[in-house]
Chains A and B, each alone.
Chain A
Amino acid sequence: MSAPRLRLACLQTAPRLGDLAANCAQLAATIAAARADGADLVVTPELAMTGYFLRDLVPDVAVVVDGPELAALSRAAGDGLALVGAVVESRDHRFHNASVLVGRGGVTVVHRKVYLPTYGLFDEQRYLAAGDRFTVVEIPGADGAAWRVGVCICEDLWHPSGPWMLSRQGMDLLVCPSASPARGVRAGLGGLGSAASYQAMLRTYAECLTCFVAYGNRVGVEDGVGFWGGSRILGPDATVLAGPLGEEPGGCAAVLERGHLRRARLATPVLRDERVDVVLSGLRRLETTPQDGGG
Chain B
Amino acid sequence: MDEPSADPLEIEPALVKGILCRFLHDEVTKVGFGRVVVGVSGGVDSALALWLAARALGAERCLAVMMPYRQSDPASLEDARRVVEAVGTPARTVDISPQIDAYFTQVPTEDRTRRGNKLARERMTVLYDCSLAESALVVGTSNKTELLLGYGTLFGDMAHALNPLGDLYKTQVYQLARHADLPARVIAKAPSADLWLGQSDEAELGFTYAVADRLLYHLVDERRTLLECQALGFDPALIASVHERIRVNQYKRRLPLIAKLSQRTIDRDFRYPRDWGY
Contacts and interface: CB of A to CB of B under 8 A. Distances in A.
Contacts of A17: 273, 275-278
28 contacts: A16-B30, A17-B275, A17-B277, A55-B272, A56-B270, A56-B271, A57-B273, A57-B276, A182-B19, A185-B11, A185-B12, A185-B15, A185-B19, A186-B10, A186-B11, A186-B12, A187-B5, A187-B12, A188-B10, A221-B22, A221-B26, A221-B27, A222-B275, A223-B274, A223-B275, A226-B26, A247-B18, A247-B22
Nearest to A228: B19
Which of A16, A222, A224, A247 gathers most chain B CB within 10 Å? A224
Given A57-B272, A57-B273, A189-B4, A16 B19 contact: no
Contact of A192 (B15, B162, B276): B15
B5 A188 contact: yes
Contacts of B23: 221, 224, 226
Interface of A: 16-19, 51, 53-57, 182, 185-192, 196, 220-224, 226, 247
A192 B273 CA distance: 25
A203 to B, nearest CB: 11
Contact of A189 (B2, B18, B270, B275): B2
Binding site secondary structure of chain A: loop
Contact of B277 (A16, A187, A223, A247): A16
Contact of A188 (B4, B18, B271): B4
Nearest to B274: A223
A187 B171 CA distance: 14
Given A17-B277, A56-B272, 6 more contacts: A17-B276, A19-B278, A186-B12, A187-B7, A221-B26, A226-B19
Binding site secondary structure of chain B: loop
A54 B272 CA distance: 7
Contact size range, B: 20 to 34
Contacts of B272: 55-57
Contacts of A189: 2, 4, 12
B220 interface: no
Nearest to A55: B271
Contacts, number: 80
Contacts of B111: none
B29 to A, nearest CB: 10
B209 to A, nearest CB: 18
Given A221-B26, A221-B27, A224-B162, A186 B273 contact: no
Contact of B273 (A187, A191, A223): A223
Which 6 residue pairs of A and B lie closest in terms of their CB atoms, listed nearest first? A190-B2, A187-B5, A221-B26, A188-B5, A187-B10, A55-B271
A18 B15 contact: no
B16 interface: yes
Contacts of B7: 187
Contacts of B26: 220-221, 226
Contacts of A51: 275
